[in-house]
Structure 1
């Protein structure tokens, strides 16, 4: 079913893996982490235990690189029965620091789309993760001037969106969210009466994976951000 976007006034963009590359660097760090701990467990076991640790720590650390670093350290200690060397722990910390300092790589078509939409719509960034890291990435991206507002949320559930839209005086029926995650960027918005565009990224964190509804309502899926210009 075709989705009508004619009454949209405000467009929200997810940041990581919608505006710029992010998950790819986590996967690369996971590979290096497994190599560092290969003397203690198999790669598959290391990957599984790290993921479990990340999920367990979400309520404490939230989303982002810093929480990921702490989960790697805690996993290394558990997997090694507290025998992991200080040198290895230092290398794990360096993995996180390399991720934080990595240049921002914009995804194809991002700036073209923002140039087309700026002035026609109120554009905002709605992302989750570490505040300092997300602010740093936005600054490095060169995209700040396109957005009226930037919000780093602790999570992206229905209530988070409802509270923010209310705070920003945005009518939910006039709001469109664009992002790569069905779980975080699409379905919560559709459930509160907004609309969305799902632009999948080739790599998705296991925690964000979710089965697509059999009946699509309130959103479309497209393989390129540039394609949204056909609907707006």
Structure 2
């Protein structure tokens, strides 16, 4: 009987000891979880990389929004200047329209390139001719290109142009004050190829008609001689 009791006691002790060991193992497992395996580490890495990319995208978005904002601010600041330029351009177009309509309604004016020309029918001195042109809102013609010279040649007129050396003998200037650069004198003018008039008062340039060389049609004569003239009015005179 005693042996039986002792055996039971031993069995009970084993059960109790086994339960205690199991409890200890559970406590240890709960207190010290095992480190993540390889798949867990990869997951953490992917999360970190994704977060980093989001940060980079946010910075790029902020920079783009700042650039757009600066550009819009600059365009806004330029609007008043652009508006003023449009007003000036509109007024200029209105002037040119009025100018063109006015000249087209007058059969005495002819257009060449960007300018209008009037050939007078009444003979006057050089000074009187210039005054007549100025009263028409124009001035005696300035010939500063080969195209203009050929245009004059086609007119085949003996007429005053806006060239004189009355201010300083031998220093030829146009009526706008610019010096003579390109010359279209006849072969023996002025003064047989020189620059100084032979006779007093020969200080004004006139076209000679009947010439056969388009670029040799100028002559200088006494400014008191009466002749017709050619008036010139260009768009830039409207400014």
Q: TM exceeds 0.5?
A: no
Higher relative contact order (CA 8 A, sep 6+): 1
Which structure's CA Rg is the greater one? 2
What TM-score, normalized to structure 1?
A: 0.20
What TM-score, normalized to structure 2?
A: 0.20
